[in-house]
Structure 1
Amino acid sequence: MQTKKTYTVEEATRKLEHYCAYQERCHQEVQQKLEGMHMIPEAIDVIIVHLLEHNFLNEERFAKTFVRGKFKFKAWGRRRLTFELKKKDISKVNINQALTEVPEEVYVDTFNDLAEKKANSITENNIYKKKKKFIDYFLYRGWESHLVYTKANELIK
């Protein structure tokens, strides 16, 4: 029979400090980690308060880091970024503040560069199918529909 590892509040606190120091975390991830460690709700509250007080856990910082990273490496648009942050229970205020991390001109330039590359990489001969592939690609990644449709009509003729 396998027994579950149990942790004292101090051990769990140290473990979660390392967990949060390694990478920015949201409250939901920390909560799930603690529940996975089989901590009781009172201990979870004590540990989360400790992490907040000692700045290991900061929702605003997490949201900003998340937006910068996903925009830079995965080229997600604002709609997808907002959706993913909402899934992590990040407040609307922090989401809006995080979205300001990407300047408008950088956002549009990135979209235009990606659109040119994608339009050139689609090998479909049928114009309508090519447009559909182009549009689906960008809508899935959360780019605004008005940008996507305008660019599709401009690039694919």
Structure 2
Amino acid sequence: MKKDIAYSLKEATKKLEAYCAYQDRCHKEVVSKLKEMGMIPVAIDEIVGHLIKENFLNEERFARSFARGKFNIKKWGKNRIINELKQRGITKYNLTSALKEIDEETYVQTLEQLAKRRLGQISETNLLKKRKKLADYLLYRGWESPLVYEITKRLIP
């Protein structure tokens, strides 16, 4: 069991500066961390205000790097990225800004590579079931339905 530690405003602020400097965070993560530390609402507001003012906390920067990372590393589609950002309380403006980080041409090429790679892993012989498995996989990863159905029909005629 974790021992309760009381943090002063200054200590909590320093700790959260380090937390935000390590990687971009959204407001929700920071507030959650502060609550975990046992900070009162007035202190939370003051610390979050300080982090924003000092540019440790920037929601647009967070949204952009999140979208870039999930697309480039995890090969997520736009739907999954949008849903994950919405769960973190990101505004519509920042969602739009985040999606601009993904180049359209690269997006389509990535879908193509992902679909071909996954197709090589599916051992199903029934063409309809094979197409469904491929489509389900791509939809789960957040790729848009029209793109998914177009590529599955093209790869599995």
For the aligned pair, the TM-score class normalised by the smaller chain equals over 0.9
Matched, 1:6 2:6: yes
Counterpart Cα distance in 1 of 2:134 and 2:100: 26
- In structure 1, stretches of 5+ residues that fail to align are none
How many angstroms does 1:3 deviate by?
Answer: 5.2
Matched, 1:108 2:126: no
Q: How much is the aligned-residue C-alpha RMSD, in angstroms?
A: 1.2
SS of equivalent residue, structure 1 residue 74: coil
Aligned 1:57-76 pairs, distance under 5 A: 57-76=57-76
SS of equivalent residue, structure 2 residue 73: helix
Counterpart Cα distance in 2 of 1:71 and 1:141: 10
Counterpart Cα distance in 1 of 2:139 and 2:65: 23
Counterpart residue number, 1:146: 146
Post-superposition Cα deviations, 1:30-87, rounded to whole Å, max 9, x if no partner, equal: 0000000000000000000000000000000000000000001110000000000000
Counterpart residue number, 1:44: 44
Matched, 1:119 2:146: no
Counterpart Cα distance in 1 of 2:75 and 2:96: 18
Size of the aligned set, in residue pairs, is: 157
- In structure 2, stretches of 5+ residues that fail to align are none
Post-superposition Cα deviations, 1:76-102, rounded to whole Å, max 9, x if no partner, equal: 000000000000000000011110101
Counterpart residue number, 2:23: 23
Taking structure 2 as the reference length, the TM-score comes to: 0.97
Counterpart Cα distance in 1 of 2:141 and 2:2: 43
Extract structure 1 runs of 4+ deviating beyond 2 A.
Answer: none
Counterpart Cα distance in 2 of 1:121 and 1:74: 18
Post-superposition Cα deviations, 1:97-149, rounded to whole Å, max 9, x if no partner, equal: 11010111011111111111112221111111111110100000110000000
What percentage of residue pairs aligned between the two structures are identical?
54
